[in-house]
Structure 1
Amino acid sequence: MLNAGFIGMGRMGITHYSILNTHPSVKVLAIADTSKTMRNILDKYLSVDTFSDYRQMIENTPLDFVVVSTPTDSHAEVINFALAHGIHVFTEKPLAMTPAESGAVVALAEKRQLVNQVGYVNRFNEVFVEVKRLLDSGAIGDLKSFTSEMYGATVLKGSNATWRSKRKSGGGCMYEFASHCLDLVVYFLGQPDRVAGSVLKSIYSSHVEDMVTSTLIYDSGLSGTVTVNWSDESFRKPANIVSFFGSRGKIIADKHAFKIFLKEDQPQIGFHEGWNTRYITDFARSVRVYVRGNEFTRQLDYFVDAILERKVDNPAGFSEGHETDVLMDKITIDAASVANPGTLQPDAPPTVTGLSSKPSFWKKISKRMGTKHA
């Protein structure tokens, strides 16, 4: 049995708790959150120890692993403290605010030989896993170009009151949305050699970007574009869309299905000439509990299994998360160098602030309860 602790109980913290609390090999012992309202709720309904300070929780509880769901600006600090105490770590994305921070986290995790994972949940989506397999098998031949897109209706009006409007807390489309989109590029294709024409554009926000676009270039000759927009109200839910064009065909995919076009029959992989469509229901495997999508359970079960089997080489580990941090940094630097009207210039380097859960979520909960958010 593995003893678990949770740090930060916002929307993602609750999601992860609901999944791991049902795992037959996991016992949740403690939760840390700076919100007094949240701790009061936990104390009333759960049989766990609660702490306002994650350090006290780690130092006073015999934990095997922690799940970190705090704002991005605190990730490196929290993770390093847990690793230094010999605790395995699952953290929400992105890994850290800068490549320097995430690189140091990677080094410490490797030194301590502790299991580590970043919550890039798309890596555990069955459609994207199948697309990865097809690309690696050469089903569409030599890749020539690609696109990676993400859209959602997250920010549809100007506001400076939430964490999303503050870059120093990890706000902005880059950290919250584009990180998923760019991680898929790293997952499918690896780190691009250079980026060009990057733009961070404000649509509604005053101090952070609402849209990210960039061209990614590989020395092999492969190139592609990234377009991310979290202010697109034509999408009811966030959507990731990828496409790949190769010498033998093309693939278009989202979280629910993929289409593959082939120039000739390939019976060995079950596809004919022309368009072939496969839906996630054609090959999805059931999970022990469903919360928001199979991939959410699959990623956490993989993490637990890795601890039980002492597998520190994780396909969604800190080293992969660091590569995504590097790519975000490349695009941010490139955008700052582009003389483009409407380009939002990045703020000064971020500094670590508090460790509270994302406040907009708890303001809603507190309002329903008739209390004030701590």
Structure 2
Amino acid sequence: MNNSLRLGIVGTGRMGITHFSIANAHDDAAVVAVADPSKLVTTMLGKYAKVSTYKDYKALLKQEQLDAVMVCTPPALNPDILDALLEAQVHAFVEKPFVLSAADGRRFAESFDAAGLVNQVGYVNRWNDMFTKAKNFVEEGLIGKPLRFRSEMFSPTIIRDPGDAGWRATHANGGGAVYEMASHALDLINYFFGAPDSVGGTSLTKVFSKQVEDVVSSSLFYDEGLAGTIYVNWSDASYRKPTNKFEVFGDAGKLQVDQHGMKIFLTTSNERHGLKAGWNQLYITDVFSAVPFYVRGLEYSAQIYDFIASIQEGNPVRCSFADAAANLEVIDRLFADDAALRAGAVA
């Protein structure tokens, strides 16, 4: 095995450990060091995974010569970490939502690009084969000109009073339905069409949470006429696990897609793809791309392997800091629109 890329991880919670296992399955890369404040976690990783361990990112960067770092920490902590990675001239993969403001997002996008450093954010749906296939269909005009869309996400994440403990209870830690889930639903919109020009009618509603929103709804508009809605509810007990749904209506048909399958309605048949007029059904098994190592979903491995390939071969990343910053611009607008509507209602 030729482990030419030396990788580090900052933050070894659920996502950090997921990325640890995927990256270490790569033939030309290895995680050699991790940083986490938990003594239990670092002791176990040092003993059984045989990696160097540190209590924080500063010690890790001081002691290790790394090619890239995967950052899996609360977004409020990420600006300081990213400034340190930039100073060390290290490529960076960061879990979403990356940072907490579009201004910070743009700053890091510009600075990492200017330094020639690969930068990627973990909006994993961009690597899901169903969503990628649906995007290709829309771009090639399968359903005609897109007119309306709907992006939704549901989960039973918060279905009782969560109290004030846990990372999901605060925005600073990436909690709240906007940062945790609506960011994924928004990123699908951006992935398909680019960022919308404006938002309106935003409602952020608490159901069980005290400090953050549980339900998100808004309308999104493009200057050329395309428009759609977003609806996210992480307090929906009718779902067993998080589910993304995306629908696009065009002047020649429509498609409905989630992580596992796609339904396509066409007004006329399409011989190229073997699709008939009326309803058609595709499943993930019809279009999936194989990955060398599977954890949680094919897309999780695909995004890390793409990150490594971007460093080694100069390939463009599928979700850059600039892409994530564009997502944050929409998120900033959602918060501002909701606040304005509430202020108007009070007045």
Please indicate, yes or no, whether the TM-score normalized by the shorter chain is above 0.5. yes
CA displacement 1:229-267 (0-9 Å, x = unmatched): 111111111000000000000000000000110001111
Q: Please give the secondary structure, in 2, of the residue aligned with 1:235.
A: coil
Q: Does residue 52 of structure 1 match 2:55?
A: yes
Whose RCO is larger (CA < 8 A, sep 6+)? 1
Does the CA contact (< 8 Å) of 1:80 and 1:108 recur in 2? no
Residue 196 (structure 1) aligned to one of 191, 196, 200? 200
Distance 1:154 1:266 in 2: 40
Q: Please give the secondary structure, in 1, of the residue aligned with 2:217.
A: strand
Give me the TM-score of the superposition, normalised by structure 2.
Answer: 0.96
Distance 2:46 2:197 in 1: 50
* Counterpart code for 2:174: G
Post-superposition offset of 1:156: 1.3
Residue 35 (structure 2) aligned to one of 32, 36, 39? 32
Q: Please give the secondary structure, in 2, of the residue aligned with 1:338.
A: helix
Give me the TM-score of the superposition, normalised by structure 1.
Answer: 0.89
Q: Which residue pairs with 1:229 in the alignment?
A: 233
* Counterpart code for 1:181: A
Residue 296 (structure 1) aligned to one of 280, 294, 300? 300
Distance 1:147 1:261 in 2: 16
Q: Which residue pairs with 1:254 in the alignment?
A: 258
* Counterpart code for 1:245: F
CA displacement 1:323-346 (0-9 Å, x = unmatched): 111111111110111138999xxx
Q: Does residue 77 of structure 1 match 2:65?
A: no
Distance 1:223 1:150, change over 3 A: same
Q: Which residue pairs with 1:362 in the alignment?
A: none
Distance 1:342 1:201 in 2: 15
Does the CA contact (< 8 Å) of 2:74 and 2:172 recur in 1? no
Q: Which residue pairs with 1:154 in the alignment?
A: 157
Distance 2:130 2:269 in 1: 21
Q: Please give the secondary structure, in 1, of the residue aligned with 2:296.
A: coil
Post-superposition offset of 1:50: 0.3
In angstroms, what is the RMSD of aligned CA positions?
Answer: 1.4
Post-superposition offset of 1:285: 1.9
Does the CA contact (< 8 Å) of 1:167 and 1:208 recur in 2? yes
Distance 1:269 1:314 in 2: 28
Post-superposition offset of 1:44: 2.0
Does the CA contact (< 8 Å) of 1:199 and 1:340 recur in 2? no
Q: Please give the secondary structure, in 2, of the residue aligned with 1:276.
A: strand
Q: Which residue pairs with 2:177 in the alignment?
A: 173
In the TM superposition, 1:262-301 aligns within 5 A as 262-301=266-305
CA displacement 1:17-73 (0-9 Å, x = unmatched): 010111111122100001112112112212111000101101210100000000111
In the TM superposition, 1:45-124 aligns within 5 A as 45-124=48-127
Distance 2:157 2:59 in 1: 35
Residue 327 (structure 1) aligned to one of 330, 340, 346? 330
Post-superposition offset of 1:81: 1.1
Q: Which residue pairs with 2:22 in the alignment?
A: 19
Q: Please give the secondary structure, in 2, of the residue aligned with 1:209.
A: coil
Q: Please give the secondary structure, in 1, of the residue aligned with 2:103.
A: helix
Q: Which residue pairs with 1:138 in the alignment?
A: 141
CA displacement 1:100-132 (0-9 Å, x = unmatched): 111111111011111110000000000000000
Post-superposition offset of 1:278: 0.5
Q: Please give the secondary structure, in 2, of the residue aligned with 1:339.
A: helix
Q: Which residue pairs with 1:242 in the alignment?
A: 246
Does the CA contact (< 8 Å) of 1:202 and 1:342 recur in 2? no
Distance 1:201 1:135 in 2: 32
The answer for unaligned runs of 5 or more in structure 1 is 344-374
Seq. identity, %: 40
Post-superposition offset of 1:169: 2.4
CA displacement 1:83-109 (0-9 Å, x = unmatched): 221100001001210011111111110
The answer for unaligned runs of 5 or more in structure 2 is none
Distance 2:53 2:209 in 1: 35
Post-superposition offset of 1:316: 0.8
Q: Moved runs in structure 1, 4+ residues, more than 6 A?
A: 340-343
Distance 2:142 2:343 in 1: 39
Distance 1:341 1:47 in 2: 58
Distance 1:78 1:342 in 2: 40
Report the count of equivalent residues. 342
Post-superposition offset of 1:199: 0.7
* Counterpart code for 1:303: F
Distance 1:145 1:340 in 2: 29
Distance 1:43 1:263 in 2: 59
